[in-house]
Amino acid sequence: MEKFMIVFLVALAISYILTPYAKKLAYKIGAIDIPKDNRRVHTKPMPRLGGLAIYISFVITSLLTLELSTELIGLLIGATMIVTIGIIDDCKQISAKLKLLVQVLAALVVVYSGVKIEGISFALSKSGYMGLGPLSVPLTVFWIVGITNTVNLIDGLDGLAAGVSFIAALSLAYVAYGQSADIAMLLIILAGGLLGFLPYNFNPAQIFMGDTGSLLIGFLLATISVEGLIKSATTLAVAIPILALGVPVFDTAFAIIRRLVNKRPIMEADKGHLHHKLLEHGLSQKQTVLVLYFISAVLGGSAVFISESSKMTAYQVLLIIATIVLLGAVRIGLMKKNEERKANM
């Protein structure tokens, strides 16, 4: 456990030291977020290259700490691809199709390095398990790309994505520790990098992580969870990272439903995300972020709980959580029709 603490502090220190330099670099290369529409909560231009400090922290600490396996090489190459396209997008916006293409290619890199979902539980088979064969590749790519973008979509308030991802990484590290110390170590390294960045990103933020950071974090969490938790995709194995990443995952799911209800493109940005709704209900930025931290901690704790529970208890907990989440989404209006849009038509 002492080794984990040392590695955590090393990753934290590197990220904390490098973030001011990332801020200076952002100004030099034009990676600035200028508020151009009413979706953005901030009102002044902000540098948005903070994810670069998290990336360097993760890479350096991983190389210093872990054995250089094929899977780790694939992870680092994929992460580098994601960071590269993120930096380009933070400097000048590029098309969603190009970003998606790079995400798919990065996911394929890790898949062919050996990181993939290999099978699913299947009650009708004799063994209770069914190998996915060639379907394992598209399913793993879908998982990685999907989770990558959920973190990106929730990056809308100072400190929100970094803090929620920090909680998720710690929760997943706890669960993974009993299965693989190396996987737990990767998650601890990521958590350290996120916490080192957070003092500069919490409200009032000095720097944003940008797509460089939000896409990277989602990619790392998705890929590491495949390698350490859901290689065999049982219901409970999949539920653990989904719960740990509950805030961005559920917010994205309801965003898709909301856009379908409003007959809008699924990829179209709007101001109906969970953090927007909490702001509409009168909470300040800090209060909204802290509320979402609390929800993330509860969901992360639930992920840890079901990982140590019997199947029956775990399914009961999942049913209760699903009911509460659905009722909460309806109550706060995450899926309702856009009355403002209808009024303007």
176, 183 Cβ separation under 8 angstroms: yes
Instruction: Look up residue 30 and give its two tokens.
Output: 């034009």
Q: How far apart are CA 202 and CA 224, in angstroms?
A: 26
Which residue from 121, 61, 49 is spatially nearest to 91, judged by alpha carbons?
49
Show Cβ contacts of residue 215 under 8 Å, excluding neighbours closer than 6 positions. Answer: 51, 82, 83, 85, 86, 99, 103, 148, 149, 151, 152
Question: Other C-beta atoms within 10 Å of 71: how many?
Answer: 18
pLDDT of residue 340: 42
> What share of the chain in percent tops pLDDT 70?
86
**Contact status, residue 117 vs residue 147, Cβ threshold 8 Å:** no
Range of the domain at 75: 2-344
Tens-place pLDDT, residues 80-138: 999 999 999 999 888 888 999 999 999 999 999 988 887 665 444 555 556 667 888 99
The end-to-end CA distance of the chain, in Å, is 60
Contact present, 197 and 54 (Cβ < 8 Å): yes
- Confidence (pLDDT) at 38: 57
Total of domains in the chain = 1
As beta bridge partners, residue 119 has 131, 232
Residue 228 and residue 150: Cα distance in Å, rounded?
Answer: 20
pLDDT, tens only, 37-82: 555 566 678 898 999 999 999 999 999 999 999 999 999 999 999 9
Residue type, 294: F
Three-state secondary structure call for residue 315? helix
In angstroms, the CA 306 to CA 316 distance is 10
Check residue 280 and give its pLDDT: 83
pLDDT of residue 123: 45
Beta bridge partner(s), residue 129:
121
Cis check for the bond before 35: say yes or no (omega within 30 of 0).
Answer: no
* CB distance 115 to 72 below 8 Å: no
Tell me, what's the pLDDT at 25?
95
d(CA 216, CA 128): 35
What confidence score (pLDDT) does residue 275 get? Answer: 83
C-alpha gyration radius of the chain: 19
Q: Supply the pLDDT for residue 323.
A: 93
In the predicted model, residues of the chain with pLDDT beneath 50 are 122-124, 233, 339-345
H or E, element range at 47: strand 46-47
Identify any residues that bridge with 32 across adjacent strands, giving them in sequence order.
47
At residue 342, the pLDDT reads: 41
Distance from chain centroid for Cα 215: 8
